Amino acid sequence: MAQPKQVVCPSCGFKNSLPLQNNRCVSCGAKIEDLKRVLSRQEELERRYQQEGFSPSWFGIAFIIVAVLTAAIVMGLPMVIPLFDFEGSAGMLVSIPVWFVGGMLVGLISPGRTFIEPVVATFLVAMPTAFLLFQSQTVKAMPAFMYVLMSALGVLFTLIGSYVGERVQMGPPPKTSD
């Protein structure tokens, strides 16, 4: 009896049985494109950190993670511990590392490469967060454009966090054979 044909995932090295569902690896979820064309070692290394598409399900997961973390730490923690007062500028300063951690968490748990999903989710969470912190500022006041700039900085840090999470998930880059 003939052995079922298998294809090796270029991202994780898992041996997948053919036919593939949605041309994706069963183990890591990476897209396996043209099965007939074999990529050279240099092409594989160049494509290692490229995202193949936008995943709506991982966008939803990233949105939930970032929204829950922001609500819990920036809004909820001062309710539980009154010593913390994250109103106005202090809230924005706390939001940036919270969004970094949210991006890193999504990068760690998501299969394949997901850099864009946490960034878009953080952008959608940052708008109401900045608005609420601007409206509630009393002593720690900043002008409105600073809230916009700090929100943009938080979105950038989310991208950095998701990249760090993906790098940790994939492990060290393979050594080149030069």
Residue spans per domain, the chain: 6-47, 56-170
Question: Residue 62 above 60 pLDDT?
Answer: yes
Confidence of residue 123 (pLDDT cuts 50, 70, 90): very high
- Tokens 């913390």 label which residue? 84
Residue 2 binned pLDDT confidence (cut-offs 50, 70, 90): low
Q: Give yes or no for a contact between 43 and 34, defined as CB atoms under 8 angstroms apart.
A: no
Question: What confidence category does residue 9 fall into, taking pLDDT thresholds of 50, 70 and 90?
Answer: confident
Sign of CA dihedral 124, 78, 131, 147: negative
Residue 49 above 70 pLDDT? no
CA torsion, ordered 67, 154, 59, 113, to nearest 10 deg:
-140
Percentage of the chain lying above the pLDDT 70 cut: 84
Whole-angstrom distance, CA of residue 99 vs CA of residue 82: 22
Q: What pLDDT sits at residue 120?
A: 95
Q: Say yes or no to pLDDT of 160 above 80.
A: yes
Asked if 163 contacts 115 with a C-beta cutoff of 8 angstroms, the reply is: yes
Query: What's the mean per-residue pLDDT of the chain?
Result: 84
- Enter the pTM of the model: 0.70
Rounded Cα–Cα distance for residues 146 and 117 (Å): 25
Mean of pLDDT values over 59-78: 93
Contacts of 113 (CB under 8 A, 6+ apart): 30, 49, 50, 51, 52, 166
Give the pLDDT band of residue 79 (cuts 50, 70, 90). confident
Average of per-residue pLDDT across 62-79: 93
Instruction: Please list, in sequence order, all residues whose beta carbon lies within 8 angstroms of the beta carbon of residue 9, skipping any fewer than 6 positions away.
Output: 15, 16, 25, 27, 28, 30, 32
Does 104 have pLDDT greater than 60? yes
Whether the pLDDT of residue 143 is over 80: the answer is yes
Q: How many CB atoms lie within 10 A of CB 135?
A: 9
